[in-house]
Amino acid sequence: MSEGLSSTPSSATIATELAMRRTGMAFQRTRMAADRTLMGVIRTSLSLISFGFTIYQFFGKLRDAGVLKGVAPARNFGESLVLLGIGMLILGIIYHVMFMRRQRDALKAQDLVHGESGFPASLVLVVAVTLLLIGLAAAFSMIGHVGPFD
């Protein structure tokens, strides 16, 4: 009665399904690699921001204690490190988002992924944006001479 319909899938159907799964896994590997790259940017930015803030605070305390008189160059160096860390983090976030969107759009254009859902934000991207906000608050505190640290 239903001789034309077979319950076992054809080899072409299996090959297509396996290819789609490999494409999905390749996209996930690419995403994880982009996340690792952003984590490297986060580590470097965090080091620059924290080291710059420490230099700024250290020489400020020495000035307040009367140990040193002219600490402006050292404090300016600290501010520069914080601003460099913030700039690096901004560029890293922009690069990460642009790269992931390009990858997704290229796969969508070739009908390799459906792309019906929105761009999923990774935890690494959330951490990067949070660190950016903290860095901006530190820079505002240092440059504007406001807040509990000045």
- The 10s digit of each residue's pLDDT in 89-141 is 999 999 999 998 888 777 777 776 666 666 667 899 999 999 999 999 989 98
**Per the domain annotation, does 9 fall within a domain?**
no
d(CA 70, CA 38): 38
- The 10s digit of each residue's pLDDT in 5-62 is 555 677 767 766 766 667 667 777 888 899 999 999 999 999 999 999 899 888 888 8
- Residue 139 contacts residue 82 (beta carbons within 8 Å): yes
pLDDT at 25: 74
- Residue 132 contacts residue 93 (beta carbons within 8 Å): yes
**Per the domain annotation, does 15 fall within a domain?**
no
**Per the domain annotation, does 3 fall within a domain?**
no
**Per the domain annotation, does 79 fall within a domain?**
yes
**Per the domain annotation, does 85 fall within a domain?**
yes
- The number of folded domains in the chain is 1
pLDDT at 39: 96
Q: Structural domain of residue 94, as residue ranges?
A: 43-144
pLDDT at 1: 46
**Per the domain annotation, does 20 fall within a domain?**
no
d(CA 50, CA 54): 6
